[in-house]
Amino acid sequence: MATKKRRTPNIQSDSWVVIAAGSVIDSQMHDSNPAFVRLRNPSTDEASLYMLGSCDEQLYEVKAFDEDFHSWFVGQTVQRDGRLLFVTPMDPLYLILPYLIKSGKEGKFQPVDQVVMDEEFPACCRLLRCTRSLASLHHIAEEKEVGGLKFHRYSEEKTMNWLQKKVERTVVALKKRNISVGEGVKSTTYVRVKSESDYCEEDYLRYAHGLISEYISEDLSKALLRHLQLPELTSPKETEPPSKKRKLSDKPVEAGEDYTKFNSADFARKPPKKMTAAQKTLAKVDKTGMKPMSSFFSPKVKVEKK
């Protein structure tokens, strides 16, 4: 093709291709619809998209399969956005955890509905309505009941045990699905002749830890690594030697150990070469407003027509 096409940004569309767990719409009470909500992502501390099932019974995370050069044919229409959204069940405790940790710093037992509050994401209180939430809070917090009211306080010990169980379950799932977890394995579509059952347990643990870390804060991830007694990996950057810089000087470059030159009779340092007259005049030219040579070689892109 002779002309270069420039891609315009994807325009927001009002339809999506979604794969969702059946439970999203499978509810006894149909009076409230499942809804997309923006909540604080425990790993990034920023907004992420989640879904709450009807009557907020169940929490779902939303992930998008997103690759370049894809579009959908939907019935008699074409959808430019080729994304495939996955709505999969998620444990609401992951999202509740950061709020508990924050209030846990005060060391007091508190009613949980006073803890899970966020001005930025007011929808977060709906997390507590999920069927599993209140029943499973004891995994991450100590409980006290006074006069029919329940109070909670974050417990790191409990949380670590809970997360460890999560990691162990993930390992089981990884093994069952034959997911390649070894270092250096990059392609999941590349089929090896040798079976990869000989991954060591540590590979699985580390991989599972990495997966769970997508759902917890960085500090917690590090603590979990210690709890699992996995040594922290040194990043390759630290082992890399510092890049050498060549010393800049006006003196001519000399070999470090060259004893011959001092023996020669006519050894003398030459002064730096003078510029020729032509070079001098060129240097004096006013270059303001001139384009650098390189600018003439950058690609010219045709604007996409609508």
Partner 1 sequence: MDISPYETDNSVSCRLTSQIPDVCRKEDCCLGIDEAGRGPVLGPMVYGICFCPVSKKEALKDLKVADSKTLTEAERENLFQKLDEAKSYVGWALQILSPNTISTSMLQRTKYNLNALSHDTAIGLVQYALDSGVQLKEVYVDTVGPAEKYEEKLSQLFPGIDVTVRSKADSLFPIVSAASICAKVARDHVVKSWKFAENLGEVDTDYGSGYPNDPKTKAWLLKYLDPMFGYPQFVRFSWSTAQTLMDSKAVTVHWDDEEEDGEKAAQRQNNRSMLSYFGASGGDNGQNPTQQTHRFFTERRLRSLNTL
Two tokens at 190? 């590349």
- Binding residues for partner 1 restricted to 221-260, rule: CB under 8 A: 221-222, 235, 237, 240, 242-243
- Binding residues for partner 1 restricted to 154-183, rule: CB under 8 A: 179
Q: Phi then psi for 304, rounded to 5 degrees?
A: -65, 135
- Closer Cβ to partner 1, 119 or 145, answer by number: 119
Q: Phi then psi for 20, rounded to 5 degrees?
A: -130, 150
- Of 97, 106, 151, give the one whose Cα is nearest residue 124: 97
Cα distance between residue 135 and residue 206, in whole Å: 29
Q: Which residues pair with 36 in a beta bridge?
A: 51
Cα distance between residue 34 and residue 25, in whole Å: 7
- Binding residues for partner 1 restricted to 130-159, rule: CB under 8 A: none
- Closer Cβ to partner 1, 89 or 210, answer by number: 210
* Contact pattern for partner 1 over residues 273 through 292, marking x by CB under 8 A: --------------------
Least distance to partner 1, CB of residue 62, Å: 6
* DSSP secondary structure letter of residue 5: B
Least distance to partner 1, CB of residue 1, Å: 7
- Closer Cβ to partner 1, 31 or 240, answer by number: 240
Cα distance between residue 133 and residue 222, in whole Å: 25
Cα distance between residue 32 and residue 24, in whole Å: 11
Least distance to partner 1, CB of residue 97, Å: 17
What is the helix (H) or strand (E) element at residue 103, kind and residue range? helix 93-104
Residue range at the interface with partner 1 (CB under 8 A); choices 46-54, 127-135, 247-255, 285-293? 46-54
Exposure string of 128-156, with b = 16+ CB inside 10 Å and e = fewer, is bebeebbeebebbbeeeeeeeeebbbbbe
Applying CB under 8 A, does 123 fall inside the site for partner 1? Answer: no
**CB-based contact 43:210 (threshold 8 Å):** no
Residue range at the interface with partner 1 (CB under 8 A); choices 147-155, 190-198, 273-281, 295-303? 295-303
Contacts with partner 1 by CB under 8 A lie at: 1-7, 12, 16, 36, 38, 41, 44, 46-49, 61-69, 78, 85-86, 179, 186, 188, 207, 210-211, 213-214, 218, 221-222, 235, 237, 240, 242-243, 298-299, 301, 304-305
